[in-house]
A and B are shown apart, each in its own frame.
Chain A
Amino acid sequence: MAPFPLNLVELLGNPQYYLVYLVIGFAFGAVLEMAGFAISTKLAAQFYFKDLTVLKVMFTGIITAMVLIFLASGLGLLDYNLVYVNETYLVPGIVGGLIMGVGFIIGGFCPGTSLVSAATLKIDGILFALGAFFGIFLFGETVGFFEEWWNSTYMGRFTLMDLFNTETGVIVVAVMIMALLAFAGAEVAERVIGKKTDKQPRWRYGAAGGGLALAFAVLLIGQPTNADKWNAISAEKQPLLDSRAVYVHPGEVLQYMNDHKIITMLIDVRDEADYNLFHVRDARHVPMDELSTIVEEFHALPENAVLFLMSNDEARATEAWRYLVAESVVNVYILEGGVNNWLATFGEGEIEAVSTHAPDALGYQFAMAYGDRHPAAAPHADRFNLTFEPHVVLAIKRGPASGGCG
């Protein structure tokens, strides 16, 4: 598994790990101040095409971080699955952005820069920050009136790669080129409209070339596929399969189904026909080729969530386990012996065992498509006297399950 981001809670403990964020914030504030972002007139000049420092600093920041993030991900150092990508709520995001734009030109700051301005004792910065607190307060009091709209047009973790249906490297190169063109345009505007005559340093051409080279390197290296990710971790994870440490007895699965402190997700990866004949109650039908679409959902689960995969026997579920573990999903287990073993353990009446020779086939016959209406779909735990060795160990998650400006 890619070593970064770090599991800060496990490494440093809670609450010591917050120190890392304090250091990051400190560096952030210092850079904003050094860029001149404590000065409202410098920020506002952006919108009269006189001094385009805001655009230059912001986009240089974005493209620098972007190439490094996707380079690190391409080299297998950083796990992009564990990097927080702001969820898209398209319409509220755009409307909020427009309101912020208006606030920006009237007030001269954005929230982050106003903090830095206030810290350097600019009275307008202090008043802006107080205003921002007031606006945030108003939002908390009024969001109840339009909460439904506020949660509308939700698209989840939706990236530019999804939007344009293309690979990461192409987007990285395109964004880099657009940013460099924007800088060239900004410099022209500063000379023509801002009447700026100061000579610009030559090293910026080198920096632009370097950025472009890195972007093409991202394109060339590509991003790791699921198979690449599994290969990188197979030495560590295959033994868990070989020692059967992740195969969980039906009795233990049942125990988790009845444990209301734990969010138990049952994922049934069989064909729809088998699923319709019989499935464990609350098991979700997720065919193998749709696993990728719900990885994000699994990452968003809280720490007390555990996933059980099941197929008719174990073959397909094991394959699904490899897939999810390679995508850094934690707390994933496999139902031991699959649905066949579940029925052998809990099945009573109205089913008939059949001998199957096909691999991963349902070993029982049903008189009708029971779905989850069969008694064995939700057995009473106290009617079965089962002994098993518990295998589930809940792990601490890496990376943010949710984040953003939360």
Chain B
Amino acid sequence: MATFTSAKKVNATPTTKAARVARPYLHPYAAGILLGLVLFAAFFFTGNGLGASGGMNRLLVVFEDALFPAHIDRTPYLISMAGGDRNPLESWVVFVTIGTIAGGFVSGWLNGRVKLETIKGPHTSTRTRWIMAFIGGALMGYGARLARGCTSGQALSGGAVLSAGSWAFMFAVFGGAYMLAYFVRKLWN
């Protein structure tokens, strides 16, 4: 399994030495300005920001509804998305989410960055990385629904329209990560 560290990746410049070299990433500020323009366009044309976890939630509920429709109709949280005749896919955020996956793939493809691989720290086994990714994902998913939005829907979107709760949330995310970072440093360094 091919693996590499971020340091190598970031410093790699596109030279002619390697044939299938991935193009370098955008400068962070340039990427940020583009991100801001996309976010502004979303608010300007639709009134809605961006989102990811809400779309994932609804995509998940499609399966739950197909398998256990009665259970959905008994769980208040799920009723609002798929109770009775309601179609969980009828929400803007589902389409943003599907678009995000497609956009990520196309950009990765055009830049030669679509490749089956595991990205991990230099002193972590692939197995550990996989397990940690799953556990981290589960925490992230749970926390995102608890906070009514993830980094995209709360921090980014709510931050730009100056929602007080979104800013408190943003500091909480960074705070939580920084507090634990030291204890899991072996995972990444």
Q: Is chain B found bound to chain A in the same assembly?
A: yes
Q: Is the CB of A88 within 8 A of B116?
A: no
Instruction: Give A110 to B102 CA distance when docked, in angstroms.
Output: 17
Task: Report B-chain residues with C-beta under 8 Å of the C-beta of A168.
Answer: 162
B103: contacting residue among A29, A78, A106, CB under 8 A: A29
Task: Report B-chain residues with C-beta under 8 Å of the C-beta of A204.
Answer: 27, 29
Instruction: Give A80 to B43 CA distance when docked, in angstroms.
Output: 9
**A359 interfacial by beta-carbon distance below 8 Å:** no
- B35 to A: closest C-beta gap in Å: 3
**A353 interfacial by beta-carbon distance below 8 Å:** no
**A362 interfacial by beta-carbon distance below 8 Å:** no
**B15 interfacial by beta-carbon distance below 8 Å:** no
Q: Is the CB of A86 within 8 A of B149?
A: yes
Q: Given A60-B29, A97-B170, are A29 and B101 also a contact pair (CB < 8 Å)?
A: yes
Q: Is the CB of B75 within 8 A of A140?
A: yes
How many pairs of residues, A versus B, come closer than 8 Å at their CB atoms? 588
A112: contacting residue among B28, B52, B75, B143, CB under 8 A: B52
User: How many chain B residues touch A (Cβ–Cβ < 8 Å)?
Assistant: 130
Q: Is the CB of B177 within 8 A of A163?
A: no
Task: Report B-chain residues with C-beta under 8 Å of the C-beta of A25.
Answer: 50, 95-100, 102-103
User: Residues 41-81 of chain A: 1 if any B CB is under 8 Å from the residue's CB, otherwise 0?
Assistant: 11011111001110011111111111011001000001010
Stretch of A114-122, A286-294, A363-371 that contacts chain B = A114-122
Q: Is the CB of B156 within 8 A of A30?
A: no
B169: contacting residue among A60, A97, A103, A110, CB under 8 A: A97
Name B8's closest neighbour in chain A (CB-CB): A41
User: Residues 74-118 of chain A: 1 if any B CB is under 8 Å from the residue's CB, otherwise 0?
Assistant: 000010101111111110111111111111111111111111111
Instruction: Give A24 to B27 CA distance when docked, in angstroms.
Output: 21
User: How many chain A residues touch B (Cβ–Cβ < 8 Å)?
Assistant: 139
Q: Is the CB of B144 within 8 A of A136?
A: yes
A405: contacting residue among B35, B51, B90, CB under 8 A: B51
Q: Is the CB of B113 within 8 A of A38?
A: yes
Task: Report A-chain residues with C-beta under 8 Å of the C-beta of B152.
Answer: 28, 110-112, 405
User: Residues 126-145 of chain B: 1 if any A CB is under 8 Å from the residue's CB, otherwise 0?
Assistant: 00011011111111111111
**A350 interfacial by beta-carbon distance below 8 Å:** no
Within B143-189, which residues are at the interface with A (CB < 8 Å)? 143-181, 184-185, 187-189
Instruction: Give A31 to B35 CA distance when docked, in angstroms.
Output: 6
- B169 to A: closest C-beta gap in Å: 4
B164: contacting residue among A83, A138, A158, CB under 8 A: A158
- Using CB atoms and an 8 Å cutoff, list the residues of chain B in contact with chain A: 5-6, 9-11, 25-29, 31-57, 60-61, 64, 75-78, 90-93, 95-109, 111, 113-121, 129-130, 132-181, 184-185, 187-189
> What are 6 A-to-B residue pairs whose CB atoms are below 8 Å?
A34-B25, A42-B10, A103-B137, A115-B56, A143-B77, A143-B145
Q: Top 3 nearest A-B pairs by Cβ distance?
A: A107-B136, A101-B176, A25-B99
